[in-house]
Chains A and B, each alone.
Chain A
Amino acid sequence: MSDLGFDPTLKKKKKSKKVEGDLTAESSAAGSPAPAGELDDMFSGLKKKKKSKKTAEEGASSSAAGSPAPEGAADDLSASFGDLGLKKKKKKSTKSSDVTDFEQQLEKAGIEEGDATAEGVDAEESSPASEDHAGNGSSSAGVLSYPSLLSRFFTILKQNNPELAGDRSGPKFRIPPPVCQREGSKKTLFANVQEIAVVLQRSPEHLIQFLFAELGTSGSIDGEKRLILKGKFQPKQMESVLRRYIIEYVTCKTCKSMNTELKRESANRLHFLSCKACGSTRSVSSIKTGFQAQIGRRKKA
């Protein structure tokens, strides 16, 4: 990929220019694909001429779909490389009598604007990286190490769609760890039920009902909306119970999202969990206490 940017003769340049024009024309005729896609098109056109149309389109589609595979990263790389090459070329070509061609391109439905913006975006995305490339490219044809490429790919991915990079910086669901204190010798004070219920977007009553059922105890809520449970419970134990609650009543089974809502259908008295992320709905079982053994003093017969 390095040789393209440097040695082609004027004729070749012209050819490539034409191809590029064709490609852009095609893309404009085909509708208005994503600017990034166009960019890719152009670069690949430059790189491999006509044969690479398909690959270019593939690259475009992948980038448009917003799910860049490792190949996508490679594409990006070539794109940025091409970026550099292209800029040089463009300048050269404009200087060297290709002005009319260039103007024709300009006329074509503001594609140039899109390109410019795309380039701008690209430049923004890979500004540090491209600078690196520039340094590399000038010294040696630019053999990039895999880790650097990987980190670059992830920075770009994070900038564009952070969801895919595993960084859920949007609506975050960080559940605070349960705070359990001993209230006397036989009771446990669960201080942040309210907080946890708010984070989970569930009513505290529902959560408390589940806790009572699951732990087989009873309890009450004090003045500061803290939960007092009968029995001794460690924070670790509470955590496991909470985890079970989340799996059962909070997470969406289809998309694993925690952004859900629990609704009670008044018609059939069933609880339904509707996901706000993917829109799926599923029914959840109501909380049942089940068998409670007789503990302590027996009833007088």
Chain B
Amino acid sequence: MSTIQNLNAFDPFADTGDSEAQPTNYIHIRIQQRNGRKTLTTVQGLPAEYDLKKILKVLKKDFACNGNIVKDEELGEVIQLQGDQRVKVSEFLTSSLQLPKKNIKIHGF
């Protein structure tokens, strides 16, 4: 009986807590082609507790590019950066902001 009770203690349908229980708070890093060789990097879905302005300032300085914050009705505030900064942004987010890498999704080619 005890073994069965032990089994009961474990709920297989409970949330495991880690990883993909919250797919809504993914951070999407996308790239868009502009004219010629120029591209645009967008960072969408950064947690609200961060000050986007400060992040943008650091990013601009680190990557030596311009950028700005765009307010979208549905998606909230989005950071836009000039050029292909996808890998650098994800690196920054993981190392400086301690965001888990599995929450970051890099899109584009």
| Chain A residues proximal to chain B, CB less than 8 Å | 186, 213-217, 230-234, 237-238, 240-241, 285, 290-293, 295-296
Contact = CB atoms under 8 A, between A and B. Distances in A.
B42 interface: yes
Contacts of B75: 290-291
Given A285-B23, A290-B44, A290-B75, A295 B34 contact: yes
A291 B109 contact: no
A217 to B, nearest CB: 7
B33 A292 contact: no
Contacts of A214: 107-109
By DSSP majority rule, is chain A's interface helix, strand, loop, or mixed? loop
Contacts of A231: 33
Contacts, number: 52
Nearest to B28: A290
B105 to A, nearest CB: 9
B37 to A, nearest CB: 9
B40 A295 contact: yes
A186 B75 CA distance: 29
B52 interface: no
A258 B66 CA distance: 43
A243 to B, nearest CB: 11
Contacts of B42: 290-291, 293
B99 interface: no
Contacts of A186: 35
